[in-house]
Amino acid sequence: MADFVRVASTAEVPEGGMKKVMLGGQQVLLANVKGKFYAIGNVCTHVGGPLDKGRLDSHEVECPLHGSRFDVTTGQVKRGPAARPEPVYEVKVEGSEVKLRPKT
């Protein structure tokens, strides 16, 4: 199983905020929902929009291109036109460091 990799500090993603980070060449969206960190793919599965440029509403992120919505806690599509979910990453917070690894 892959090791966790540091991608950000907790201070870089305030509550209600999002940040694009890289993990093994993949763009990942890191979101802070009520003090808990979640990570899903950052590239919209519809036509590749940058989710980090969208809007976070509670635990759903909206793609800025066509309005697809994804649950940042599960990666599931909440509103189309996207039909495929986003990949989900395991998150571990150690002190002030946020670490990720692909979910198996």
pTM for this entry: 0.95
Domains of the chain: 5-102 (2.102.10.10)
Exposed, middle or buried by CB within 10 Å (0-12, 13-18, 19+), for 24? Answer: exposed
Share of the chain above pLDDT 90, in %: 94
Name the residue among 28, 22, 64 with its Cα closest to residue 46. 64
| Residue 2: band (very low, low, confident or very high) from pLDDT cuts 50, 70, 90 | confident
What is the distance between the terminal CA atoms of the chain, rounded to a whole angstrom?
A: 8
Question: What is the tens place of the pLDDT at every residue in 37-65?
Answer: 999 999 999 999 999 999 999 999 999 99
